[in-house]
Amino acid sequence: MDRRISLHTWYAVFVIFAVLMLQAWLGQANHQEAVPFSEFISALENGELSDVEISGQVIRGTRVSGTADLPQHIVATIVEPALAQTLSQYDVTYSARAQSGIANALVSWFLPMVFFLAVWMLFIRRIANHGGMGGNAVSIGQSKAKVYVEADTRVTFADVAGVEEAKAELKEIVAFLKDPQGYGRLGARMPKGILLVGPPGTGKTLFARAMAGEASVPFFSISGSEFVEMFVGVGAARVRDLFEKAREKAPAIIFIDELDALGRARGAYPGLGGHDEKEQTLNQLLSELDGFDPSRGLVLLAATNRPEVLDPALLRAGRFDRQVLVDRPDKSGRIAILQVHTHRIEIEDDTDLDEIAALTPGFSGADLANLVNEAALLATRRDAQAVSLIDFVAAIERIVAGLEKKNRLLNPIERKTVAYHELGHALVAMALKNTDPVQKVSIIPRGIGSLGYTIQRPTEDRFLMSKAELEAKMAVLLAGRAAEQMVFDEVSTGAADDLQKASQIARAMATRYGMVEDIGQVALEKEDHAFLGTRTEGQISHYSEATAQKIDDAVQAAIAHAFERATQILSSHREALDDAALILLEKETLTGQELARITGALTWKSA
């Protein structure tokens, strides 16, 4: 990759240099000397000039006779606008300034630019086609497309560790690739496209290659980021080529890395350029997806760490209709990943991977791979026979500093706060009747702005919610902050999103669902139950100041009540909360069952 970037830079410098040279040369040929206006006029009056042209404030002419030591082309600025009129008695042409501006730019900038860009592209193509990616990857396609194909990736699921849930899901796909016919026979339908979603460096690319390795099928890949700054039509041609090549070799895996770079919501590009090109590429991809027939043994995988920016059309049924989460590993996951990577190096017996894993919360698989590498380098530098714990600790310190800069790691106090916050949500959800069961609690940061998370799995699709359910939901939402308040006697900014959601519900209860006695069964605002899925906003009728006051009061009261309720539940289960927090801080994720076991929750589900 680096090599190609440096070539790009090299050629960019070359082109700029060449254009500047050309400009200088053109300028010379066209050389014009600026002279005072009075001098220009006298030359004109003396009949020394021909081809006199006025464009805007500028007048130029070609000297046909007169003093030889003056340049042939002279130009002056019309100082007195009124004079422009009197000039009409001479043989002059008036030309629009804009026109001559464009013509000038065309000659001096645009044409040479196009010419050199073309030459540049040609060079880049040649390099790309000859150089390829190195290793056992071969790039195919002579001119248009740069699709990488590996006949055998030599990576298997054993190389991917710490992401067991995702692995289990993807194993099914491998079974299909190994025997497309047999799979179809049982009536099972493969998803058309599978989207691997997760933070950078968690092994999405590795997973895709491992699937190809497991199934012993060729691996065709292309990266979304390579589609940027491409000429119109090239991107679409690449996509077409990718699918064509893969179809010839089916069964096979097609992998599109960084899907977000080319699959961004259409119409979402600020500014000009690139827009049409990206739309064309995306449209081509969509049409390939629609014509895609999984029963022929092709599996389409893509990866992204920003699923939220993807064009919704990509995620529709029959396109990328299966998402697999590839998350940052928890502690046991990190141990497994460290095992994979330390396999190839010599390590001292004293090195306890468990301890290293404990020191590296928030590390991704790529960070851990990097860590093992660094540690090995440090050991080599001190002439050791094997890598030992001290090398790992030193390497961790270096890497942590880098990650902290990127704001990806929590300090110990933050971790503790997040643990209690998330457990607050989880325990209150477990204690209350009208809530969805807790599936998972985690203190592994997920994306920007989310430091931890609690997943509740709805037991069914919801179209109606009762007042009791809404109230329970609010209590669960406020329980994060309630736990922080109770344990640390201090609150943090981590609850902002919870508060917003709870306020939304409280407000809707007052203004839309007629659930507040004091206001009555009137609808004051339009539907906005973001929590049920639909969304339209605005006032239905104009209501008085007094009613507005009542709404505010009702929202305040509902929130206060929910907070009170959460606090009460948590304080009566303080011991369970502390026990769970200890274990969550150690393990980083807890499933619903584990949590129930720790807290004995199932015995106290009541209220």
Ligand X SMILES: Nc1ncnc2c1ncn2[C@@H]1O[C@H](COP(=O)(O)OP(=O)(O)OP(=O)(O)O)[C@@H](O)[C@H]1O
Amino acid at 53: E
- DSSP result, 468-537: HHHHHHHHHHHHHHHHHHHHHS---GGGHHHHHHHHHHHHHHHHTS---TTT-S---B----TTTS----
CB nearer to ligand X: pick between 112 and 203: 203
Choosing from 422, 471, 484, 525, which is the catalytic residue? Answer: 422
Q: How far is the CB of 207 from ligand X (least distance, A)?
A: 7
Residues 490-519 as x/- pattern, contact with Zn ion by CB under 5 A: --------x---------------------
Q: Do the beta carbons of residue 208 and residue 196 sit within 8 Å?
A: yes
Pick what 160 binds: Zn ion, ligand X, none; C-beta below 5 to 8 Å, kind-dependent.
Answer: ligand X
Q: How far is the CB of 303 from ligand X (least distance, A)?
A: 6
Q: Which stretch binds Zn ion (CB under 5 A): 123-131, 436-444, 475-483, 514-522?
A: 475-483
Residue 87 DSSP class: G
Q: How far is the CB of 326 from ligand X (least distance, A)?
A: 6
Q: Does 325 bind ligand X (CB under 6 A)?
A: no
Binder among 153, 202, 435, 442 for ligand X (CB under 6 A):
202
Pick what 410 binds: Zn ion, ligand X, none; C-beta below 5 to 8 Å, kind-dependent.
Answer: none
Q: Which stretch binds Zn ion (CB under 5 A): 137-145, 478-486, 560-568, 580-588?
A: 478-486
Q: Which stretch binds Zn ion (CB under 5 A): 74-82, 226-234, 361-369, 473-481?
A: 473-481
Within 46-96, residue ranges assigned H as helices are 83-86
Q: How far is the CB of 369 from ligand X (least distance, A)?
A: 4
- Identify which of 134, 304, 139, 132 has the alpha carbon closest to the alpha carbon of residue 220: 139
Pick what 480 binds: ligand X, Zn ion, none; C-beta below 5 to 8 Å, kind-dependent.
Answer: Zn ion
- Identify which of 452, 444, 167, 184 has the alpha carbon closest to the alpha carbon of residue 329: 444
Q: How far is the CB of 423 from Zn ion (least distance, A)?
A: 10
CB nearer to ligand X: pick between 367 and 525: 367
Q: How many Å apart are CA 122 and CA 116, to the nearest integer?
A: 10
Q: Which residues of 430-463 are buried (b: 16+ CB within 10 A; e: fewer)?
A: bbbebbbebebbbbbbeeeeebbbbebeeeeeee
Q: How many Å apart are CA 195 and CA 170, to the nearest integer?
A: 11
Q: Does 480 bind Zn ion (CB under 5 A)?
A: yes
| Residue 597 burial (CB count, 10 A) | 14
Q: How far is the CB of 570 from Zn ion (least distance, A)?
A: 13
Which residues, at least 6 apart from 383, have a Cβ–Cβ distance to it below 8 Å? none
Q: How far is the CB of 160 from ligand X (least distance, A)?
A: 5
- Identify which of 306, 232, 238 has the alpha carbon closest to the alpha carbon of residue 273: 232
Q: How many Å apart are CA 90 and CA 86, to the nearest integer?
A: 8
Q: Nearest residue by C-beta to ligand X? A: 365
Q: How far is the CB of 331 from Zn ion (least distance, A)?
A: 22
- Of residues 184-223, those binding Zn ion (CB under 5 A): none
CA dihedral 254, 257, 259, 261 (to 10 degrees): -140
- Of residues 28-67, those binding Zn ion (CB under 5 A): none
Report helix angle 412-431 to 592-599, nearest 10: 80
Residue 539 DSSP class: B
Report helix angle 412-431 to 467-488, nearest 10: 150
How many residues touch ligand X (CB under 6 A)? 18
Binder among 305, 492, 503, 568 for ligand X (CB under 6 A):
305
CB nearer to ligand X: pick between 59 and 400: 400
Question: SS3 for 326?
Answer: coil
Q: Does 203 bind ligand X (CB under 6 A)?
A: yes
CB nearer to ligand X: pick between 264 and 425: 264
- Of residues 144-173, those binding ligand X (CB under 6 A): 160-163
Q: Annotated binding site for Zn(2+), which residues? A: 421, 425, 498
Binder among 205, 342, 485, 567 for ligand X (CB under 6 A):
205
- Cis peptide bond N-terminal to 412, omega within 30: no
CB nearer to Zn ion: pick between 145 and 443: 443
Binder among 63, 192, 204, 425 for ligand X (CB under 6 A):
204
Write phi, then psi, for 444 (nearest 5 degrees): -90, 120
Binder among 201, 224, 251, 480 for ligand X (CB under 6 A):
201
Check if 308 is active-site: no
Q: How far is the CB of 19 from Zn ion (least distance, A)?
A: 56
Pick what 498 binds: ligand X, Zn ion, none; C-beta below 5 to 8 Å, kind-dependent.
Answer: Zn ion
Q: Does 429 bind ligand X (CB under 6 A)?
A: no
How far is C-alpha 320 from the geometric centre of its chain's CA atoms?
A: 16
Binder among 54, 337, 580, 601 for ligand X (CB under 6 A):
337
Q: Does 335 bind ligand X (CB under 6 A)?
A: no
- Identify which of 445, 434, 429 has the alpha carbon closest to the alpha carbon of residue 477: 429
Residues 555-574 as x/- pattern, contact with Zn ion by CB under 5 A: --------------------
Binder among 145, 174, 197, 369 for ligand X (CB under 6 A):
369
Which residues, at least 6 apart from 310, have a Cβ–Cβ distance to it below 8 Å? 259, 260, 263, 264, 265, 304
Q: How many Å apart are CA 470 and CA 460, to the nearest integer?
A: 16
Binder among 15, 59, 299, 303 for ligand X (CB under 6 A):
303
Straight-line distance from the first to the last Cα atom of the chain, in angstroms, rounded to the nearest whole number:
60
Q: Annotated binding site, which residues? A: 198-205, 421, 425, 498
Q: Annotated binding site for ATP, which residues? A: 198-205
SS3 of 385-434: the string is CCECHHHHHHHHHHHHHHHHHCCCCCCHHHHHHHHHHHHHHHHHHHHCCC
Residues that bind Zn ion (CB under 5 A): 480, 498
Residues designated as active site: 422
Residues that bind ligand X (CB under 6 A): 160-163, 200-206, 303, 305, 337, 340, 365-366, 369
